Chain A
Amino acid sequence: MKPEWELWAQEAKAEFPKANSALLPLLHRIQSQEHYLSEDTIRDVAVLLKLPVPYVESVASFYSLYYKNPVGKRIIHVCMGLSCALNGSDELMHHLEGKLGIQEGQTTPDGEVSLLEAECLAACNLAPVAQVNLRFVGPVTEDTADQLLTGEVKS
């Protein structure tokens, strides 16, 4: 457990004092520091919020943006929704797989980049659209796809 997590837990509880509403915000904040939620982290969060460990585990496992395994520093989500598929999202995914030498769902061996499918990202006007660390990029053409791999991103 990092020393600042206790303060973060207090802040989350202060903002969302009722029920277990502090849980999701706290998981977000800790994951943004740790990049993923390890079993130890889940246990720490349970202690901080006085919740059973299996409860925290069951909540964290429900949501696709909480990662239970290590992910890359740069997470690329390619939207695979219908509007994106009609505009070439699958070709884009294959292009990125080729460039990175990994399959969708995997992380590069150096731990830098994870390539993930996203269900509809609600940005169909930008199809095919992707997110780099949850920042929208689109429409992505094969020429601009490399920007997903190397362009500057905010965390």
Chain B
Amino acid sequence: MKAVILFYSTNQAIWAENELKSHELSCRLISVPRHLSSDCGYCVQIDAEDKEKATDILTANKIEFEKIEIL
């Protein structure tokens, strides 16, 4: 099962991708699924089981995100 982390800005999404990868978390940038947002940018897809770990990493680095949605 996958999850996506939504951000207010694509800049934050790329920053998050950078940090998650440096912690060896499997992730990739994808276009934001239309049913989740009307925005035109991208989000970070992770394995749903990594949700808590990803939250910890983002919080520790003060990377703001909107929410994490299980797909």
Whether both chains belong to one complex is answered with no
Q: Which residues of B contact A (CB under 8 A)?
A: none
